[in-house]
Amino acid sequence: MQIYKVGGAVRDRLLGKPVTDIDWVVVGATAEEMLAKGFRPVGSDFPVFLHPKSGEEYALARTERKSGRGYGGFTFHASPEVTLEEDLIRRDLTINAMAEDDQGVLTDPYHGQQDLENRLLRHVSPAFAEDPLRVLRVARFAARYAGLGFRVAPDTLELMRQLSKSGELEALTPERSWKEISRALMEDHPQVFIQVLRDCGALKVLLPEVEALFGVPQPAAHHPEIDSGVHTLSVLEQAALHKQPLSVRWACLLHDLGKGLTPQSEWPQHIAHEHKGLKLIKQVNERFKAPRDCQELALLVGQYHTHGHRALELKPSTLAELLQSFDVYRRPQRFEEFIAACEMDARGRLGLEERAYPQADYLRGAATAARTVAVQPLLEQGFKGPELGEALKRERLKALKAYKEQYSQ
């Protein structure tokens, strides 16, 4: 039995990056031997075991054969005869197909170290094209390592194009797709993820609503970058620079989908794009079964982001309705995330990335003013039931009028 450290742990050590998770592969062992040493089995597809003390994953060396459609369409074979090189060749990228023994000796049969030095994301073997999930994974790695100068190798991008045309991407489950998309959005350069998907033709399969934004112009006075798709990438870039959470990044990606529905005869104006985009945002949310907080914020940002930009001009009654729409009295954090998404949208414009966004503090102040209205005095005045709700609404509107007047002075 020989045990090797494999994959990301080896890659990141060679890149000088912190190593968090460690995967191990075991060559020359049977499942029975692993159990006898106290390892706990997990996973039904192939033999993977948890170390009795560290809890880290140890997988028996295995080969795989394509047997169906999609990510799960593989038959696995694990036995003591499977070599380390045979196990590594089934991996996606050469930089993930290196192994290290307990002495730190590197096994690199597919030149992963050279591709690390050349900053290339290259597939290990033609079998790469058998797994559609790898399109998303490579795009995610491109987003992770873009800051180090990595790019997808041309021959790998060609295989990704073939996969995108094959119909295999449609076989991915919503859960698997969302796992990769959500991880990619949380990388340092999530806009690169979307760009790589676009370069290989996968974006129009997975997210045709986002693909439809590219080539759609906006008024140059407000959007010097002009192209709606380029703007979306810039908004995502700002969200990452400002360390926004996943819900905000998801909302940033989808906020302008309605612009893809504007007839060419109306370009570059996009009247009512906020309302038109809601059905598209909803269908994307449902397609990937996004978590509820991501779904809700994306819809609210899609509908109200232009309210955010015009915050200083809004009437107190419109402000009150906006705060009510966000249930800001019970869910203040969601409104804070809305403000963040609006600010990223404003900053995601060519040459305006550093421009101040006073709307953010104005909206926070409005929320605070409305929240400080106390219920107890109204109860003491005898209000109850629906009448109490109406009285509270009136008092909050008064507070917002006073806030707006004070701000204007």
Q: Give the tens place of pLDDT for each residue, 279-309.
A: 999 999 999 999 999 999 999 999 999 999 9
Q: What local confidence, expressed as pLDDT, does residue 62 receive?
A: 86
Q: What's the pLDDT tens digit per position in 344-369?
A: 999 999 999 999 999 999 999 999 99
Q: What local confidence, expressed as pLDDT, does residue 66 receive?
A: 55
**Mean predicted confidence (pLDDT) in 237-249:** 98
The encoded tokens of residue 106 equal 């590197």
Asked whether residue 67 carries a pLDDT value surpassing 50, the answer given is no
**Mean predicted confidence (pLDDT) in 123-144:** 95
Nearest to 59 by CA among 71, 42, 74, 72: 42
Q: For all residues of the chain together, what is the average pLDDT?
A: 93
Q: Which of 84-98, 140-154, 370-384 has the lowest mean pLDDT?
A: 370-384
**Mean predicted confidence (pLDDT) in 175-199:** 98
Distance separating alpha carbons of residues 274 and 59, to the nearest angstrom: 49
Spell out the residues 6+ positions from residue 83 whose beta carbon is closer than 8 angstroms to its own: 27, 61
Read off the pLDDT band of 409 (50, 70, 90): confident
User: What's the CA angle centered on 289, arms 284 and 290, to 5 degrees?
Assistant: 80
Q: Between the ranges 59-63, 72-76, 77-81, 164-168, where is the mean pLDDT highest? A: 164-168
Altogether, the residues listed in the chain come to a count of: 409
Read off the pLDDT band of 4 (50, 70, 90): very high
Q: What local confidence, expressed as pLDDT, does residue 75 receive?
A: 64
**Mean predicted confidence (pLDDT) in 185-205:** 98
Please give the C-alpha separations between residue 65 and each of 27, 48, 78, in angstroms, as whole numbers.
19, 18, 12
Nearest to 225 by CA among 265, 268, 170: 268
